[in-house]
Amino acid sequence: MQNQILAIDIGSSKVCAIIAEIKDNDEIKIIGTGISKSQGLKKGTITNIDLASKSIKSALNDAKRVAGTNFTKAIVSISGAYTKSVNSNGIVNIPNKEITIKEINRVMQTALYNANIPHEYEVLHVLPYNFKVDDQDFIEDPLGMNASRLEVDVHIITTQKSNLFNLKKAVRSAGVDIGNVVLSGYASSIAVLNEDEKELGVAVIDMGAATSNVVIHLGNSIRYNDFLAVGSNHITNDLSMALHTPLSVAEKIKIEHGSLKSSKNEIIEIPVIGDEKNTHEVSLEIVYNVIFARVEETLMILAKSIEKSGLKDQIGAGIVLTGGMTKLEGLRDLAVAIFDNMPVRIGKPKHLEGMFDTLNDPAFSTSIGLVLYGAGHFTQYEIDSNKNLRYRGENLGKEKIPMRENENLVEEKEESEMAQLTKLENIKDNSESFKEKISKFFRWITQLF
């Protein structure tokens, strides 16, 4: 039977629900998509649970209608708003001298236990970025290695409990339980990055409608994440105020004439805000200046965030820009200038079978990233929002089932029972039958008493 995935990306401008199936050959095929306008969200957080739930339900119903299937659990994105990140460390001894999944889980749980996480925050991801086996540092994958001690450094991403509770309530009100919650910036990085970029070090900036999320990926894992409550909607607001025109008209001007390249001297006629029957003329040079000022300021703040991370010198692959705001003409060139001539590219999500043309757009990077996450395309190891260890095998698309402590005990018990059965079988194979031995034993007891 084919496994199926439901991914719901809850953004500030849209809600996107995608249903996909994993085939026997581990290929992913999208079989249903639904997109609805976001309501009840502001700057990446839910401000009205009922309205947000209606938006989620609308997108979900469309996706179900196309796919012809029903779902009870979903992988859901959460904005970087109100998130905090901390680094922690864990050390455990290896009693059997061989590192198994049980030991990796134990050392990561120890690092999580050692972390100083405020009571009002809930863990989203625990991502290891450095394993140390005895005195050997920077071990890529310790599984199967011989050692007496295992150490790990982890990056822990947390969010406010109230923020997570409101998200879960909105999704459940739409008729779906949450299987997992994934940071939107993390999901976007899964969708747009290749292995070389991860190895060299790269910063992913997802520039959405109302927010911009920054994630720095080094080697095996995320090392830094940040959030800026500025997006393309702010350009629309700026244009509306500068041109004295309604927001809907300002949005249309941004889409049709938005550019960061040299301004044009054309004049356009637009309605006046509050009195749409009357119009007035404005120069496209004003439009250019307003857009340029907002985008330049946004990129400069994001550049400072990367500088603040202390990891700028380790970002060998440069910057990957994704999200709906990247459709502005000339954005890449401006970003190169602001990010000190670092390599910059616009990242589109990886192509999947059955992917509609609409989804082949930077605005849907998080949505596709959630599908890939559900199919096992995450970091080598992580503790997810359910506090469970997730890990992948050598083949990217193949997720293994984590062996938790109780599962290990069950396995040991089964091995013990098998050993006892083997002993009994050996008794049966002797010259005298098993029943005869039991019978002799009872006869001997009878004679004694």
pLDDT for 251: 94
Does 16 map to a domain?
no
> What distance in Å separates the CA atoms of residue 257 and residue 298, rounded to the nearest whole number?
20
Are 204 and 185 in contact by the 8 Å Cβ rule? The answer is yes
Q: Which two tokens stand for residue 250?
A: 């300002």
- Structure confidence at residue 412 as a pLDDT band (50, 70, 90): very low
Does 104 map to a domain?
yes
- Structure confidence at residue 428 as a pLDDT band (50, 70, 90): very low
Residue 24, burial from CB neighbour count under 10 angstroms (0-12, 13-18, 19+): exposed
Q: Which residues does residue 10 pair with via DSSP β-bridges, in sequence order?
A: 15
How much of the chain exceeds pLDDT 90, in percent? 74
pLDDT for 378: 86
Question: What's the whole-model pTM score?
Answer: 0.85
> What distance in Å separates the CA atoms of residue 108 and residue 93, rounded to the nearest whole number?
13
- Structure confidence at residue 440 as a pLDDT band (50, 70, 90): low
User: Buried (b) or exposed (e) across 31-40, using 16+ Cβ within 10 A?
Assistant: bbbbbbebbb
Amino acid residing at 8 = I
Are 85 and 156 in contact by the 8 Å Cβ rule? The answer is yes
Does 9 map to a domain?
no
Are 328 and 291 in contact by the 8 Å Cβ rule? The answer is yes
Using alpha carbons only, give the angle 361, 189, 353 rounded to the nearest 5 degrees.
50
217 vs 265, more confident: 217
- Structure confidence at residue 439 as a pLDDT band (50, 70, 90): low
Output the DSSP codes for 87-99: EEEEEEE-TTSB-
pLDDT for 411: 40
Contacts of 325 (CB under 8 A, 6+ apart): 207, 208, 209, 212, 231, 232, 235, 295, 331
Are 67 and 31 in contact by the 8 Å Cβ rule? The answer is yes
- Structure confidence at residue 415 as a pLDDT band (50, 70, 90): very low
Phi/psi for 67 (5° steps) reads -80, -25
Residue 146, burial from CB neighbour count under 10 angstroms (0-12, 13-18, 19+): exposed
414 vs 184, more confident: 184
Over residues 57-103, the pLDDT tens digits come to 999 999 999 999 888 799 999 999 989 999 999 999 999 999 999 99
Phi/psi for 364 (5° steps) reads -110, 20
Ramachandran region, residue 141 (left: φ > 0; alpha: ψ -120 to 50; beta: rest): beta
Integer-rounded Cα Rg, in Å, for the chain is 28
Residue 44, burial from CB neighbour count under 10 angstroms (0-12, 13-18, 19+): buried
pLDDT for 379: 85
Q: Which CATH number covers residue 276?
A: 3.30.420.40
Of 162, 160, 6, 29, whose CA–CA distance to 76 is shortest? 6
Looking at 136, 158, 180, the residue that finishes a domain is 158
Other CB atoms within 10 A of residue 138 CB = 10
Does 237 map to a domain?
yes
Over residues 125-178, the pLDDT tens digits come to 999 999 999 989 889 899 999 999 999 999 999 999 999 999 999 999 999 999
Q: CA torsion 2→183→163→5, rounded to 10°? A: -10
274 vs 440, more confident: 274
> What distance in Å separates the CA atoms of residue 152 and residue 147, rounded to the nearest whole number?
14
Mean pLDDT confidence for 356-361: 88
pLDDT for 266: 87
> What distance in Å separates the CA atoms of residue 37 and residue 49, rounded to the nearest whole number?
15
- The number of angstroms, rounded, from the C-alpha of 408 to the middle of its chain's C-alpha atoms is 29
Are 120 and 164 in contact by the 8 Å Cβ rule? The answer is no
Report helix, strand or coil for 26. Answer: coil
Q: Which CATH number covers residue 140?
A: 3.30.1490.110
Average pLDDT along the chain: 87
**pLDDT surpasses 50 at 321:** yes
Does 36 map to a domain?
no
> What distance in Å separates the CA atoms of residue 313 and residue 306, rounded to the nearest whole number?
10
43 vs 246, more confident: 246
- Structure confidence at residue 350 as a pLDDT band (50, 70, 90): very high
Contacts of 284 (CB under 8 A, 6+ apart): 257, 263, 264, 265, 266, 267, 268
Report helix, strand or coil for 159. Answer: strand
Does 261 map to a domain?
yes
Other CB atoms within 10 A of residue 442 CB = 9
Mean pLDDT confidence for 310-319: 96
Are 85 and 158 in contact by the 8 Å Cβ rule? The answer is yes
Over residues 242-255, the pLDDT tens digits come to 999 999 999 999 99
Looking at 158, 176, 208, the residue that finishes a domain is 158
pLDDT for 438: 55
Looking at 258, 273, 291, the residue that finishes a domain is 291
- Structure confidence at residue 1 as a pLDDT band (50, 70, 90): very low
Does 301 map to a domain?
no
Other CB atoms within 10 A of residue 438 CB = 11
How much of the chain exceeds pLDDT 70, in percent? 87
**pLDDT surpasses 70 at 444:** no
Residue ranges of E strands in 79-170: 83-93, 121-133, 136-139, 149-160
Over residues 275-302, the pLDDT tens digits come to 777 888 999 999 999 999 999 999 999 9
Does 283 map to a domain?
yes
Domain that holds residue 278: 232-291
pLDDT for 158: 97
pLDDT for 402: 42
**pLDDT surpasses 50 at 427:** no
Over residues 199-253, the pLDDT tens digits come to 999 999 999 999 999 999 997 789 999 999 999 999 999 999 999 999 999 999 9
Number of domains in the chain: 2
pLDDT for 299: 97
**pLDDT surpasses 70 at 399:** no
